[in-house]
Amino acid sequence: MIVQNDRGVYYEENIAYADSSLFSVFTLPMVSGDTHTALNDPFRIILSQSAAEKYFGHINPLGHTLLINGKDTAYITGVMKDMPFNSHFRVDILVSLHTLTQVWNPGTETNWMRSGFYTYLVLPTPAAAAHLTSKLPGFVTRHYDQSIRKYALSLEPLSSVYLHGKPRGRRAGSEVTGSIRNIYIFSLLAVFVLFIACFNFINMTTAVSTYRAKEVGLRKVLGASRRQLIIQFLLDALTLTAIAFLLALLAISLLVPVFDQLVGKTIVTSLFEHASTFILLP
């Protein structure tokens, strides 16, 4: 989609067509505008904060217009916060679905042969999802002509969309998907590296134990008990581990931005973004 105003002409790819029910399914905080009416009419669009700043600077864009594809005038009816990087649904511009179905492709809403639209449902229980799935074949049979082409509808849990789902078009706002296979591969590599680190630590501890034999003997002569010696060795190990952990955090904070540029993806936005993950790191 080509979008332009007096600040310039831009080719936008991060767009999606949606109606106002989107905001009753997803948590998309609005900076300005009414979620109930912002996408009710054709040529109504909602911008992310980044897009609003790109097109209008620090001016409130509500009520302003953008020219779409060099011919259609669209009105800004809302500004939402930027979607997080870890969201499977990440766009900068939401265009009202009526723009597509009533103006650009009239009759789409009543044409059962048109595909390419993704519908998100909020179901109360997994049992409700299973019950609805059992009704989909009969629904398809009633509305689709199966003699020309076979059609099928299916439900997909939102939690599995990114890693297990099929790639989606840009109009669905979720073209990018992950790979569960890559997760397994990197997890195995991490376990392998951890095993090597533990093995090396044990070898190094065993190697230096002979040098500490005199220290242990001297401490026993001075009256140290077995329990005190065990605590000393454990404290030494924990101290080395803590120092290594802090050095690892420093290395990650310095090297992750470089790694992101190398692979072309944002792996981690912040080490402290999720406290639960940070607690599990030690």
Residue 57 has pLDDT above 50, yes or no: yes
Concatenating the DSSP letter of every residue in 83-118 gives PPTT-SS--SEEEEHHIIIIIISTTGGG-TT-----
Q: What residue spans define the domains of the chain?
A: 2-109, 117-172, 180-211, 224-282
| SS3 at position 46 | strand
| SS3 at position 78 | strand
> For residue 249, what pLDDT is reported?
83
Q: Which residue in 16, 13, 260 sits closest to 117, CA to CA?
A: 16
Determine contact, residues 54/76, Cβ cutoff 8 Å. no
Determine contact, residues 79/93, Cβ cutoff 8 Å. no
Distances (CA, A) of 85 to 8, 22, 171: 26, 19, 18
Determine contact, residues 162/88, Cβ cutoff 8 Å. yes
Token couple for 38 = 């912002």
CB proximity list for 224: less than 8 A, separation 6 or greater:
none
Q: Which residue has the higher pLDDT, 263 or 84?
A: 84
Mean pLDDT of the chain: 84
Per-residue pLDDT tens over the stretch 241-281: 889 888 988 888 888 888 878 777 776 666 666 666 666 66
Q: Determine the residue type at 170.
A: R
Q: Which residue has the higher pLDDT, 268 or 228?
A: 228
| SS3 at position 190 | helix
Q: What is the phi/psi pair of residue 77, to 5°?
A: -115, 0
Token couple for 144 = 């689709």
> For residue 171, what pLDDT is reported?
47
Residue 203 has pLDDT above 90, yes or no: no
10 forms beta bridges with 3
> For residue 157, what pLDDT is reported?
87
> For residue 75, what pLDDT is reported?
95
Distance CA(191)–CA(180), nearest Å, equals 17
Per-residue pLDDT tens over the stretch 85-138: 777 778 899 999 999 888 998 888 888 877 777 788 899 888 999 999 999 999
Q: Which residue in 153, 156, 114 sits closest to 136, CA to CA?
A: 153
pTM above 0.85, yes or no: no
